[in-house]
Amino acid sequence: MKKILIALLVLCIAFIPVLVIAQPRYEADFSLTVSVNGAEVKTIKDYIYVYDTDVLDVGLNLKTNEDFYAGPLSAEIHYTDSFLEYNDFDWNEYSRFYSACKSYSNLSLYQEEISFLKLDMIPTTDDCVKAPNLLNECLINIQLVANGKRDDVAQVYLDESTIRNRSNPFGSTYFACYTDNGDLAGNRYDFGSEIYLDFSKASIKFKITDSGDVNSDKRITSSDSLLIMQMATGIKSLDSHQAIVADVDSNGKVNSSDGLAILQISAGIRTINDILNI
Ligand SMILES: [Ca+2]
Ligand SMILES: [Ca+2]
């Protein structure tokens, strides 16, 4: 009898981890992508470098797992409004999630103590019969314009502290899901601490630069390149401001490499991030 009891106990202990692993884990990863003046920035170290008046397209990407049939989403996209101006947005109309929500999708601008864009997307039976799963797609592109001076830092991010869960039941960010094969009439698993929203890749910092703009006309042109070449060869002298902005690759020297880099940027062959973000 004692042996049977021990055997049962061992069996129970063996199955506990299986039961724990078998619990569904609903995961949604949010990330941001950026294009500057239409060119995608692929390599980012600490900052994306932008010039004053550059146009930034920030894409919000959503990735969900197999068991996560996407239900209503409400999120806040924060941005530093002192250095970035909100301009416009576009839905990704090819997104499966947008297709499931298009009759109830909304982006609205809030400008109070902090500025943010409030995103609401709710799948409806008007748009689809099944909520989508296994998503990995851009939902929306937001256009912002840089507005600042050298070394100003700005950020676009989703704020983890707004996520609704058991310890933050009034959080403004939530993402529900359907558990019954995506059937909108079936079981909805509502927001809570069992749904894991990952915002670790949903934050991008920008630093305003004027590198290379030695004639201070707010544009990078071949005139800047020519001036840098003349400075590098001693034909023209540099004032203290020019000595900083002419050193495009920040190696402490103004030479022909800086002039060449600016010539390539003015011709659209490279971007300032190809030089400063390596
Ligand atoms: Ca210039
Ligand atoms: Ca240099």
One domain, residues 185 and 73:
yes
Last residue within a domain, chosen from 161, 181, 209? 209
CA distance 12 to 138: 45
Radius of gyration of the chain (CA): 25
Look at residue 232 and give its three-state secondary structure: helix
Distance 129 CA to ligand 1 centre (A): 55
Asked if residue 180 has pLDDT above 70, the reply is yes
In a domain, 15, yes or no: no
Give the C-alpha separation, 105 to 147, whole Å: 29
* Domain shared by 144 and 238, yes or no: no
- Asked whether residue 262 is assigned to any structural domain, the reply reads yes
> What are the φ/ψ torsions at residue 256 (nearest 5 degrees)?
-65, -25
What local confidence, expressed as pLDDT, does residue 7 receive? 63
Q: Which domain holds residue 257?
A: 222-276
- What spacing in Å lies between the alpha carbon of 261 and ligand 2's midpoint? 9
CA 25 from centre of chain: 24
Residue, of 201 and 180, whose pLDDT is higher: 201
Per-residue pLDDT tens for 136-147? Answer: 999 999 999 999
The b-or-e profile of 6-24 (16+ CB within 10 A means b, else e) is eeeeeeeeeeeeeeeeeee
Q: Is the dihedral of CA 158, 115, 51, 89 positive or negative?
A: positive
Q: How far is the CA of 79 from the centre of ligand 1 (A)?
A: 28
Phi-psi region at 250: left, alpha or beta (left = phi > 0; alpha = psi -120 to 50): left
Residues, the chain, total? 278
Q: Give me the amino acid identity at 240.
A: S
How far apart are the C-alpha atoms of 15 and 33, rounded to whole Å?
43
Same domain (yes/no): 142, 248? no
The overall average pLDDT reported for the chain is 89
Q: How confident is the model at residue 150 (pLDDT cuts 50, 70, 90)?
A: very high
Domain check: are 252 and 156 in the same one?
A: no
Residues within 5 Å of ion ligand 1, judged at the Cβ atom: 213, 215, 217, 219, 224
- Distance from the first to the final alpha carbon of the chain: 70
Q: What is the pLDDT of residue 109?
A: 96
Ligand number with the minimum distance to the CA of 253: 2
Report how far residue 40's alpha carbon sits from residue 273's, in angstroms, rounded to the nearest whole number. 10
Residue 1 lies in a domain: no
Contact 114, 161 (CB under 8 A): no
Q: Are 270 and 183 found together in one domain?
A: no
pLDDT at 19: 47
Distance 234 CA to ligand 1 centre (A): 20
Q: Which of the ligands is closest to the CA of residue 252?
A: 2
Q: Does the pLDDT of residue 18 top 50, yes or no?
A: no
Task: Tell me whether residue 265 is in a domain.
Answer: yes
Report the alpha-carbon distance of residue 117 to residue 162 in Å, rounded.
13
Write the CATH number for 175.
2.60.40.680
Give residue 98's pLDDT band: very low, low, confident or very high (50, 70, 90): very high
State whether 135 and 269 are in the same domain: no
**Statement to judge: residues 246 and 185 lie in one domain:** no
C-alpha 120/C-alpha 133 separation (Å) is 18
Q: Is residue 90 part of a domain?
A: yes
pLDDT for 75 beyond 70: yes
Q: Are residues 176 and 227 in the same domain?
A: no
Query: Is 233 in the same domain as 164?
Result: no
My answer on whether 249 and 163 are in the same domain is: no
The ligand that comes nearest to the alpha carbon of residue 276 is 2
Which phi and psi (to 5°) does residue 238 adopt? Answer: -105, 140
- Indicate whether 86 belongs to any domain: yes
Q: How far is the CA of 247 from the centre of ligand 2 (A)?
A: 4
Concatenate the DSSP letters of all residues of 76-91 into one string: EEEE-TTTEEEEEEEE
Domain stop point among 156, 188, 209:
209
Kindly state the average pLDDT of the residues 250-272. Answer: 93
Q: Is the pLDDT of residue 95 over 90?
A: yes
Q: How many domains does the chain divide into? A: 2
Q: Please tell me whether residues 142 and 228 are part of one structural domain.
A: no
Domain membership flag for residue 181: yes
Q: Which residue has the higher pLDDT, 43 or 165?
A: 165
The tokens describing 247, both together, are 């050193």
Q: Domain for residue 37, yes or no? A: yes
Q: Specify the amino acid at residue 48.
A: I
- Where does a domain end: 209, 236, 252? 209
Look at residue 2 and tell me whether its pLDDT is greater than 80.
no
